[in-house]
Amino acid sequence: MSALSRDQLRTMMGDVLEAQGKTIPSSDDSPLDEIGFRSLDFSELALRVEDELGSELNFDAPGLRAIETVGDVLEFLEQLQLA
């Protein structure tokens, strides 16, 4: 299993948003609530990452509560791949 790059994760996040008629902002500092990225969207993104990797990601709710920006999502998914 090879890890997905930050750019690949960003593209996948953009695909999830695009399916809803939204676009991913260029800045990783953009708050998720401003772009309409919800917990259901995160779940869809995580499933796409798992499908691409061919394995499950192991994460817990406390870690998810700290996610507030696009960059937080990307960083969280990068760290999960290393676990």
Number of domains observed in the structure of the chain? 1
Q: Give CA–CA dist 33/47, Å, rounded.
A: 21
Q: What is the amino acid identity at position 58?
A: N
Question: Confidence band (pLDDT; 50, 70, 90) for 61?
Answer: low
CATH number of the domain bearing residue 53: 1.10.1200.10
**30 pLDDT more than 90:** yes
Question: Confidence band (pLDDT; 50, 70, 90) for 51?
Answer: very high
Residue 59 counted as domain residue:
yes
Residue 1 counted as domain residue:
no
List CB contacts of 36: < 8 A, sequence separation 6 or more: 17, 20, 22
Q: Give CA–CA dist 53/25, Å, rounded.
A: 25
Domain residue limits at 29: 6-82
Q: Which of 48, 47, 16, 14 is nearest to 28 (CA)?
A: 14
Q: Give CA–CA dist 47/18, Å, rounded.
A: 16
pLDDT of residue 1: 54
**82 pLDDT more than 70:** yes
pLDDT mean over 62-76: 88
pLDDT of residue 27: 94
